[in-house]
């Protein structure tokens, strides 16, 4: 979307029209195609870049310099300078409840979409296991605190405890996007170990 990364002069809402400028050397999006507007949030080395979808756009016209799109869905405030990407293909999870998995692969909760002091079931998070470890959309993970010294007495070791149950929303080769289904402890944070506990049929 053309312009610098600043708020649009007026609020953009559903059905508003915007101009989408192609990257130099490419052609504007074709009429009838759908694009996803995304905001680059921050780099997450060595895993990649965290991006946040803000809107879905239907291309309705334009010329050789710019495409004209209409906002069909909005997920967050829209800023000038966001990237417009093809809408990713989505394969819905298989029907049926995820089935328990014994000794599933483990990884780490590496970050959250938005940094804040306390995380809830409304948050989006990222884990360090993905397709290569057998994850699929709809799978369920558990985030847990490992054996650790008690704050009151470091000589006392607390047993592993489940902190949250997570559902896989999107899967990359070695990472996945997850959302908490439930919280057992108010201590969901980066660095917790995660383990696959249920797999879609």
141-175 pLDDT per residue, tens:
999 988 888 888 989 998 888 999 999 999 999 99
Concatenated DSSP letters for 77-90?
--BTT-EEEEPPP-
Is 0.85 topped by the overall pTM?
Answer: no
Task: Specify the length of the chain in residues.
Answer: 201
Long-range contacts of 109-113 (CB under 8 A, 24+ apart): 109/143, 109/188, 109/189, 109/190, 109/191, 109/192, 109/193, 109/194, 110/44, 110/47, 110/175, 110/190, 111/44, 111/50, 111/190, 112/190, 113/41, 113/50, 113/52
Give the pLDDT score at 136: 92
Chain segment 52-98, per-residue pLDDT in tens: 999 999 999 999 899 999 999 999 888 888 899 988 776 666 677 88
pLDDT class of 139 with cuts at 50, 70, 90: very high
Token pair of 21 as six digits = 């400028």
Residue 22 in this model has a pLDDT that exceeds 70: yes
Angle (nearest 5°) at CA 173 between 114 and 193: 55
> Which of the 8 DSSP states describes residue 49?
E
> For domain 99-199, which CATH number applies: 3.40.50.150, 2.60.40.10, 3.20.20.70, 2.40.10.410?
2.40.10.410
> What tokens does 82 get?
């966001």
Beta carbons of 163 and 187 less than 8 angstroms apart: yes
Task: Kindly report, as residue ranges, where domains of CATH 2.40.10.410 are found in the chain.
Answer: 99-199
Do 61 and 33 contact (CB within 8 A), yes or no? no
């Amino acid at each position: 979307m053309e312009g610098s990364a600043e708020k649009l002069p007026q609020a953009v809402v559903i059905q508003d029209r915007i101009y989408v400028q192609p990257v130099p050397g490419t052609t504007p999006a074709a009429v009838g195609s759908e694009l996803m507007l995304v905001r680059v949030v921050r780099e997450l080395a060595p895993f990649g870049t965290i991006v946040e979808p803000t809107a879905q756009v239907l291309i309705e016209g334009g010329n050789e310099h710019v495409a004209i799109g209409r906002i069909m869905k909005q997920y967050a405030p829209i800023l000038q300078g966001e990237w417009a990407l093809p809408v990713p293909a989505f394969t819905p999870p298989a029907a049926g409840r995820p089935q328990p998995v014994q000794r599933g692969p483990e990884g780490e909760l590496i970050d959250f979409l938005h940094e804040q002091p306390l995380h809830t079931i409304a948050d989006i998070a990222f884990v360090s296991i993905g397709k290569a470890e057998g994850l699929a959309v709809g799978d369920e993970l558990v985030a847990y605190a490992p054996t650790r010294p008690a704050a009151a007495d470091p000589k006392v070791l607390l047993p592993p405890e489940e902190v949250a149950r997570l559902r896989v929303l999107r899967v990359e080769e070695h990472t996945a996007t997850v959302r908490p289904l439930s919280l057992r402890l108010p201590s969901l944070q980066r660095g917790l170990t995660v383990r696959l506990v249920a797999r879609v049929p």
